[in-house]
Amino acid sequence: MSTLRTDSNLRTVLAALFFWSFGIGLYEQLVPIYARQLGASAVQLGTLYTLRHIALAVGFIIGWSVVDRYPRRTVMRASWVGGAPVPLLLAAAQSYIWLLPGLLLYEVTFFGLPALHAYVTQRVRSADLAPMFALMGTVSSVAFFIAPGAGGLIADRLGIRTTLFLASAFYLTSTVLMLRVKPDPAAEVPAGPARRPTRADLEGLIPVLWITAGMTLVWVITVPFVSPYLREVRGLSLSYIGFLGSMQAVGGIVLTAIAGRLGNRYGVIPTLAQALGVYAVGMLFIVFGPIALLAFVAPLRARAPTHSLGQALIGSKAPADVLGRAFAIAGALSAIVSAVGVFLSGYAYRANPALPLLISIALAVLLGLVMLRMRTSAQAVPQAESAPSGAR
């Protein structure tokens, strides 16, 4: 994309995103295991993640109030600075309950994500939105390709706390880069005064908001339980679990790039439906597949393709003067839905460790079918309306 070649701020933002993703990639898959080591039961683990998502909703509500009111660069920088101490707070925990300060702080600092998405959307042409968000997903996936395997290996040999200390160095590097983003008033301050989205604004957005919330739910309800399932049910080592995370990131790198091209060519919604089908196949192998094949099918479980296409869909539907708030609404709705889903998943895991994963598969298939039906209905309307003009 020509914009990226000429826009140094975008390149700096992508570099900051890479180092941040590398930092969280080192330890995120280990957090559920770490919580279990610190005494959390399955239900308590689900509750931890429920509280995380409530804090995430709070973060997006804060993002709603600041994203179209203050310079986006300022909001992004505040978000990065606020999240930088998180790995050190997690490393200091002596029981699972003391993980909460770090976990909740991290989620609240997502108030900067709507500003980031709006900042990027405003800097590229509308035709380049799907490829640009796909590139952001690919950048994160490259970091996740390297980081989980390294984090798991370090945790196996030196303990999870050592991995957290290393992650803090990557967070610091990312924060320094974000602080180096140069002022650009034309892209940082929304055009015109901030306003609340009207009913007319939301009518076109509501289906998109529910699609993104549903996709988030599909993925999130498995997050606290995939690693414990692999560790406790399938008996894998921390290093191998980390390696599977790296292989999952391979899917993020490859499939996100493919999804960006397909979304640009054939439409975002049908591409999203296909991506959910691919994800469901990958999750089926986690539950039923032979261990020898898990590394080969792990790329199918990548979240990045659906996430990047979802953000591109919001960016293409939201009016320019409420762009940041549209991203904030989507994030808050997704977080609230996910909080309920994760809480219930804790009880599901206690009843049967495979159950949260199976529910995720069923939801992915159902949502994919709904989106394909939406696409078919959308195509049928223009055909019905075109008959009179054809008669002329």
Q: Which tens digit of pLDDT belongs to each residue from 270-313?
A: 888 888 888 889 889 988 888 888 888 888 887 767 777 777 77
Of 332, 338, 287, 344, residue with least CA distance to 46: 344
Contacts of 120 (CB under 8 A, 6+ apart): 10, 13, 132, 133, 136
Contact in structure between 112 and 80 (CB atoms under 8 Å): yes
> Token pair for residue 367?
């949502």
pLDDT band at 382 (very low <50, low <70, confident <90, very high): very low
Q: Who wins on pLDDT, 193 or 229?
A: 229
pLDDT score of 71 more than 60: yes
Q: Per the confidence metrics, is the pTM higher than 0.85?
A: no
For the chain, state the CA radius of gyration.
Answer: 21
Q: What is the mean pLDDT of residues 87-92?
A: 94
- What is the structure's pLDDT at 383? 38
Is residue 301 a contact partner of residue 279, using CB atoms and an 8 Å limit?
yes
Q: Give the rounded distance of the alpha carbon of 143 from its chain centre.
A: 14
pLDDT band at 388; cut points 50, 70, 90: very low
Reported as a pLDDT band with limits 50, 70 and 90, residue 391 is very low
Range of 22-36, 182-196, 305-319 with top mean pLDDT = 22-36
Task: Pick 382 or 358 by higher pLDDT.
Answer: 358
> How far apart, in whole angstroms, are the C-alpha atoms of residue 388 and residue 255?
42
> How far is 374 from 273, CA to CA, in rounded Å?
10
Identity of the highest mean pLDDT range in 203-207, 367-371, 376-380: 367-371
pLDDT band at 49 (very low <50, low <70, confident <90, very high): confident
The amino acid present at 1, given as its one-letter code, is M
**In the CATH scheme, what architecture does the domain 2-182+222-378 have?**
Up-down Bundle (1.20)
As a residue count, the chain comes to 392
Residue 41 in this model has a pLDDT that exceeds 70: yes
Distance CA 346, CA 62 (A): 28
CB 4 within 8 A of CB 10: yes
Q: Please, which residues have CB within 8 angstroms of residue 337's CB and are 6 or more apart in sequence?
A: 213, 214, 216, 217
Q: What CA–CA distances, in Å, run from 12 to 123, 170, 178, 335?
A: 13, 15, 7, 28
Mean pLDDT, all residues of the chain: 81
Of 24-38, 71-85, 188-202, the one with minimum mean pLDDT is 188-202
233 or 187, higher pLDDT: 233
Taking the C-alpha atoms of residue 111 and residue 97, their distance in angstroms, rounded to an integer, is 24
Would you place residue 10 in the very low, low, confident or very high pLDDT band (cuts 50, 70, 90)?
confident
**Per-residue pLDDT, 23:** 94
3-class state of residue 160 by DSSP:
helix
Higher pLDDT, 257 or 353: 353
Per-residue model confidence (pLDDT) at position 392? 40
Confidence of residue 387 (pLDDT cuts 50, 70, 90): very low
Residue 371: pLDDT band by 50, 70, 90 thresholds? confident
Does residue 132 register a pLDDT over 60? Answer: yes
Average pLDDT over residues 365-385: 62
Burial code (b: 16+ CB inside 10 Å, e: under 16) for 195-215 equals: eebeeebeeebebbbbbbbbb
Which pair of tokens denotes residue 193?
């005064």
Return the SS3 of 290: coil
Q: What is the pLDDT of residues 227-278, one digit of tens each?
A: 888 888 888 887 888 788 878 878 777 777 777 777 767 777 788 888 888 8
pLDDT on residue 127 = 64
Tell me the CA distances in angstroms from 215 to 212, 314, 330, 343, 367, one per residue in order.
5, 13, 11, 17, 8
